[in-house]
Structure 1
């Protein structure tokens, strides 16, 4: 009863449906399916509508997934018993429906177990329902012999490309195998990338290099495996490789240069994630390194995509190459009557801040005797330049301002001396000249 492929073919199923007995059996099958659907909806409202957290528990969820096939299968078996009792004959379609419902339950239970076994987020309900539907439709088509009809039709649609004869079945088979092999390769590359990125004792740039190389190598191997599987000779890659080389030499030269430059940057570790760079008067932090470009995020939140080739061929200022701490200066001016030793001491004291390094310690200097006052400058090393400088400058300037007010140290206004000349010499005409 569970395997009916040998008993019925697609043509025989179509012939049975065209009879009155077959239509009644089809109607009974639809009614049984509707009964299972109704029971499943009632179970959902009772178990999960107000308790969505039960989706994460395997037993309630698996039981819910089995309600529709179990109730429908029970109704179908009851229909077979009633049919045998009333007609004293064996039904043709009802055993087929029974097998379909049984395998629907098995497939739903299998996908529910898979969903529970995989990590959360890797196999959601939509994916589970899609896979279960595809597997069940595949079984239905095999059970009624519809797959033979589809295969014959796909083979009948054929055409020639040069000396190669192709049909839709070959094309779909090739697409299926290539997709499966490439997806498996990408999945393995993600697993390897996760394992490599978890190695905290290894430099981040090397981890990124190994992850990218593993993905590239796996994709190449997947293509080399997929091509012979679908019947494509690998010797055609020689022609493709020659064409690709010409394309790289002309149209794709810049792309190839960026790609190679990206691996050079990662291997020599001259630029790392989190470095503070100055590129073409733009300052920002490296947030991502890809095969083609480096993402440079500035303090205002904007992100610049700098090609890897530009970082290799041009001069790049890496302000955190050996040490991420940065030196900044805070200029200030005091009056000419100020005790400079006291003012310099105030500057050094005001630099006591959690974000300022103590070794080397903050330093204060007299930089110039200007027109309005004496120019002083406070130099500090900032531990975390990635958090910006404006807030730090403001806090230190406020501390200096408060101490200056306490000690009576004045910050001068701009001064200008204006001299007014009141006596103007008037040139009188000479004796010989007429007025």
Structure 2
């Protein structure tokens, strides 16, 4: 645009924009009122929309039946198919209007298909924007992206982009050498939205690719995923700053000064971030491990930048700060392998044969489903002492799935011992106490007689 023709004040910009829109509105009214091919084109557009609506009614059932048979398709393709089927009328209108527009360009004057071309372009743009907006997960950002792109496509189709761009570029705030205009802000917002969507898709694709690679450990997969996220979103942030026109040198000095000031208030946050990096690098804890930290026992669901998600057997999810896993004692039941040995203490009567008790205990524990047997994981039973009321034993057995719980397997083994001991006639004693009531002694009788006298 010629710089000499740009207005100097916002009032002039507003007046020019009002005049431009008024002219376009008058042209639209003239198109509708004036007899001739303009009215014919509007009638043709209405007819095409009615035909598209009728085609949707006639073919929607067949399309739905065909879509239900696509059971082997991936989820992303099925989502696109669902979005297209929700807009069948618009799809048919785009096909019919573009087909008719291309035919009329060949057989008649371009002015007789001008309006049809505009509506075909707008319909195609709206359809593409509606499908692309589904990539934005956030509902608010999705609506902003959708409406802004629709407005932009409409302005392009009506030929108003230069006028609107000139108006928005003139609405600016000058801070020293920095000039921030409304047009620059809109461009930055749209660019950030597109880049954030691409960064999210790239991060998701990288995460899926790393998870499918068995040569990389789960902790390194998480670390690499976090690194890719930092790089992609950091690039988006730097691009947004440059788009708005900020000087990165000044921002670097300002961020350094602010970082020193807020660093003291974010010591815990920084400590958790550093602890999370250490955990991921030394591979001491990884997703799927079964850990015990204080009273919390569960398996690691996810490793975050600030905390670790631990899910317990009762369905509770604990968010444990990374610093606690570094500074406190943590029991990792599946650090080197997933084999865990459990000990059960019990006692039997002195009248029972200890050889029979040990053999019965080992035989009964092998009947429990999750208990391992054979080799170094063979269950054993030992006498640990002679108690006051029973002979004490310890039963040791191994499992390979601690994430399925420990209390339930102990309960099943105790129940198997109970049934086996009942069948073998082995008794489980309980403490017994004898209370003897002694009669009065002779000395006590003499004292009682003296007391009566």
Specify the TM-score bucket, using the shorter chain as the normaliser: 0.7 to 0.9
Q: 1:378 maps to what in 2?
A: 395
Q: 1:195 maps to what in 2?
A: 209
Q: Equivalent residue of 2:326, what SS?
A: helix
Cα displacement (A) at 1:11 = 5.9
Are 2:414 and 1:397 aligned? Answer: yes
Q: 1:87 maps to what in 2?
A: none
Are 2:198 and 1:180 aligned? Answer: no
Decide whether aligned partners of structure 1 residues 75 and 130 sit closer, same or farther in structure 2, where only a CA change above 3 A counts: farther
Q: Equivalent residue of 1:149, what SS?
A: helix
More helix by share: 2
- 2: CA distance between counterparts of 1:16 and 1:151? 21
Q: 1:96 maps to what in 2?
A: 114
Structure 1 spans left out of the alignment, 5+ residues: 1-8, 85-89, 116-120
Aligned 1:416-435 pairs, distance under 5 A? 416-425=433-442, 426-428=444-446, 435=453
- 2: CA distance between counterparts of 1:76 and 1:319? 70
- 2: CA distance between counterparts of 1:206 and 1:391? 33
Q: 1:272 maps to what in 2?
A: 286
| TM-score relative to the length of structure 1 | 0.79
Cα displacement (A) at 1:271 = 0.9
C-alpha distance after superposition, 1:269-324 (max 9, x if no partner) = 01111222221222121111010000111111111100011111222222222222
Aligned 1:34-433 pairs, distance under 5 A? 34-49=46-61, 51-55=63-67, 66-71=91-96, 95-104=113-122, 107=125, 138-352=152-366, 353-358=368-373, 359-425=376-442, 426-428=444-446
- For residue 15 of structure 1, the aligned residue among 17, 26, 44 is 26
- 1: CA distance between counterparts of 2:143 and 2:64? 17
Contact 1:204 1:273 in 2 (8 A): yes
RMSD (Å), alpha carbons: 4.1
Contact 2:101 2:117 in 1 (8 A): no
C-alpha distance after superposition, 1:322-359 (max 9, x if no partner) = 22222222222212211111111111111214422322
Cα displacement (A) at 1:155 = 2.6
Q: How many residue pairs get matched?
A: 410
Cα displacement (A) at 1:402 = 2.8
Contact 1:371 1:415 in 2 (8 A): no
Cα displacement (A) at 1:21 = 6.1
Decide whether aligned partners of structure 1 residues 140 and 221 sit closer, same or farther in structure 2, where only a CA change above 3 A counts: closer
Contact 2:219 2:283 in 1 (8 A): yes
Cα displacement (A) at 1:33 = 3.5
- 2: CA distance between counterparts of 1:64 and 1:272? 50
C-alpha distance after superposition, 1:203-251 (max 9, x if no partner) = 1111111111122122223333443344322212322331342244222
Contact 1:155 1:169 in 2 (8 A): yes
